[in-house]
Structure 1
């Protein structure tokens, strides 16, 4: 394959990684608004937020097969407009049940797009023989930050539905244009769909990486959904202005991911993973301990940097396991990652409703400590001899 074609694939998939989460970022910034509008307690909001993980975990059972069967370009062209429409549904909900259902639809579209983008990014990384995964996910965090910033800044003037219309229309239109120009990378078509495996047939590395991803994304999801609520409770600000917490978190997550490829090349996956987890733990302490509000902003930033490299390191490690079950492996890892990202917030909410958000955040610490051990499985197979 020509280098020019590979470069085109790199630039376009990075653009898609930026565009796809904009609607999600807008929604995350508007969660406090919906909590107040529907007059939901933390417990009731947590139940409603379960709509996304339930749908995601179901959709991911088919996402890997579908991305191979119909091709990633067609998958992205089909799902961008579906996500754009689904993003409105949570804001139109009139009850907890309606919010749960709306988030389920939104989550299903999100799942198919996540798998497609990560499979493609893994293929591009191997074709380019260079580290690009962290930058791809850096653009994802940048898109999340952009969506949350636009929603935080414009909701007061345009309203929640109006600002979501702006974000969804832009990301959908440009996303479809970019997806249509993606060059094909790797084998696609029904004849390349691999047979389903039993749990016992899966490599141990895949299961260990999945566990690592689950714990890291528990923290990522908790910050994405609850940081704005945490800030609105600690500081007397309008619920739409509290979305700045999501913006700070996502912004520093983007920064960490843009630096991630260089750091991985300089220090290796193991050092990067463990160092990142330590930063996330320090960030949690800033939120949990009875410290001045300034430390909360520092905590959002450290957590953003701390969880930044987890997902891209996991995708690269899984993609390096081999091509025979590539899409399936990425789908399994994505199931673990998105389960953490989407199940974490409701679990934190249940704890927060009884014990407070600080206790809910503290519950993330044991999982992150476990990540310090699981990080050794992120080393590529050819470097397995260096595991300790």
Structure 2
């Protein structure tokens, strides 16, 4: 009998091309959200929506993303992460152009659902592919890849805001955004693949989570809950609780996002030096202490400094957790990642309303105390939850 040929390891040049193409996908995902966010005021005024109706439209988008994630895991198992990434990226381009053409709130909500569906699909696929590229590199690269999501959001929002300022209208602005997304996805498509076939071991994508996946998902819920709450509530906390000026309060989430992006750009070396479990443990501890400072800050500047530090703390929690999900025993990498991400994004979706209910009942300071507990859970359980990566060949 003739022995099966060993697979040929990809060259470093091929790996770097795959890495850069994966960065482009993360950039596209963030940029699409930035374009969407910048046009929300125009969409609201165009259909004369009240705040509650607009909130339902945004909820439809979040539901679409959460619905897509487990399905994406099954599709990746069948077709591979590269194919699902490209298809989802092109779907984002189409879905991004649709909302300004919708004639009423119902169809606007449907278009938002489709955009969320596309974003949820690419989220799992590009993270699964990034984890495969990271495994081939033999060292952590997930944090810096995730940084390009934030960078894409900055460029997408800034570019769209410029078009809004020029009064080109939502149809042209969001259409142009969709066209740019399609061009970037098509340019990256030819460089994504670096293996002859995708990894599909471990079963199909739709199944109940194992204990290891469930624990990773719970830590991801804690992180996304905090990140979502910072996006929705940090400005209000600075203004109403810490007594900050309007300008300082408005800069709160931007500062959090900036330090998170910096932390992720520098995070690969941090994770490599400490190992993923220790890195997440330390990151959770920094996040918990920082949020504790924010919660009991004696003045707005101390609260603002705590928000800056919290961004650094949360920077390197989710990327190592997503990488760890693809190493969960007995589960296909994409399936495990889909489960963990679905749990995490559900936490991000439900977290801000939960903080609102707690704030109404006990005050916003109490609500931020919940975030301290969530970050502390990450610090306490990271070491016993995250399995180490396989040794380099």
Same fold (TM over 0.5): yes
Corresponding residue number in structure 2 for 1:177: 187
1:304 to 298, 311, 316: 311
**Alpha-carbon spacing, 1:149–1:188, altered in 2? closer, same or farther (3 Å):** same
Structure 1 stretch 242-251 or stretch 116-125: which is displaced more? 242-251
1:271 to 270, 278, 282: 278
3-state DSSP of counterpart to 1:194: coil
Residue 2 in 1 paired to residue 13 in 2?
no
1:63 to 50, 72, 81: 72
Corresponding residue number in structure 1 for 2:128: 119
Q: Quote the Cα distance in structure 2 between the aligned partners of 1:300 and 1:93.
A: 38
Corresponding residue number in structure 2 for 1:380: 388
**Alpha-carbon spacing, 1:348–1:26, altered in 2? closer, same or farther (3 Å):** farther
**Alpha-carbon spacing, 1:47–1:208, altered in 2? closer, same or farther (3 Å):** same
Corresponding residue number in structure 1 for 2:6: none
Q: Quote the Cα distance in structure 2 between the aligned partners of 1:217 and 1:103.
A: 21
Corresponding residue number in structure 1 for 2:203: 194
Q: Quote the Cα distance in structure 2 between the aligned partners of 1:252 and 1:242.
A: 16
Offset at residue 193 of structure 1 (A): 8.6
Corresponding residue number in structure 1 for 2:118: 109
Q: Quote the Cα distance in structure 1 between the aligned partners of 2:214 and 2:163.
A: 42
Alignment check: 8 A CA contact 2:30 2:153 kept: yes
Q: Quote the Cα distance in structure 2 between the aligned partners of 1:308 and 1:32.
A: 29
Per the normalisation by structure 1, the TM-score is 0.81
Residue 140 in 1 paired to residue 149 in 2?
yes
**Alpha-carbon spacing, 1:224–1:86, altered in 2? closer, same or farther (3 Å):** farther
Q: Quote the Cα distance in structure 2 between the aligned partners of 1:291 and 1:184.
A: 53
Q: Quote the Cα distance in structure 2 between the aligned partners of 1:231 and 1:172.
A: 39
Offset at residue 225 of structure 1 (A): 4.2
Corresponding residue number in structure 2 for 1:215: 222
Counterparts of 1:219-230 in structure 2, within 5 Å, are: 219-227=226-234
**Alpha-carbon spacing, 1:100–1:248, altered in 2? closer, same or farther (3 Å):** farther
Q: Quote the Cα distance in structure 2 between the aligned partners of 1:299 and 1:136.
A: 25
Alignment check: 8 A CA contact 1:123 1:185 kept: no
**Alpha-carbon spacing, 1:63–1:362, altered in 2? closer, same or farther (3 Å):** same
Residue 79 in 1 paired to residue 88 in 2?
yes
**Alpha-carbon spacing, 1:114–1:163, altered in 2? closer, same or farther (3 Å):** same
**Alpha-carbon spacing, 1:30–1:330, altered in 2? closer, same or farther (3 Å):** same
**Alpha-carbon spacing, 1:15–1:164, altered in 2? closer, same or farther (3 Å):** same
3-state DSSP of counterpart to 2:339: helix
Unaligned runs of 5+ in 2: 1-8
Alignment check: 8 A CA contact 1:20 1:175 kept: no
Counterparts of 1:156-175 in structure 2, within 5 Å, are: 156-158=165-167, 161=170, 163-175=173-185
**Alpha-carbon spacing, 1:206–1:75, altered in 2? closer, same or farther (3 Å):** same
Q: Quote the Cα distance in structure 1 between the aligned partners of 2:142 and 2:236.
A: 31
Corresponding residue number in structure 1 for 2:51: 40
Counterparts of 1:252-271 in structure 2, within 5 Å, are: 252-271=259-278
Q: Quote the Cα distance in structure 1 between the aligned partners of 2:214 and 2:286.
A: 24
Corresponding residue number in structure 2 for 1:11: 20
Offset at residue 100 of structure 1 (A): 4.5
**Alpha-carbon spacing, 1:92–1:66, altered in 2? closer, same or farther (3 Å):** same
* Larger relative contact order (Cα-Cα within 8 Å, sequence gap ≥ 6): 1
Alignment check: 8 A CA contact 1:217 1:340 kept: yes
**In angstroms, what is the RMSD of aligned CA positions?**
3.6
Q: Which has the larger radius of gyration?
A: 2
3-state DSSP of counterpart to 1:364: helix
Unaligned runs of 5+ in 1: 384-388
Offset at residue 274 of structure 1 (A): 2.3
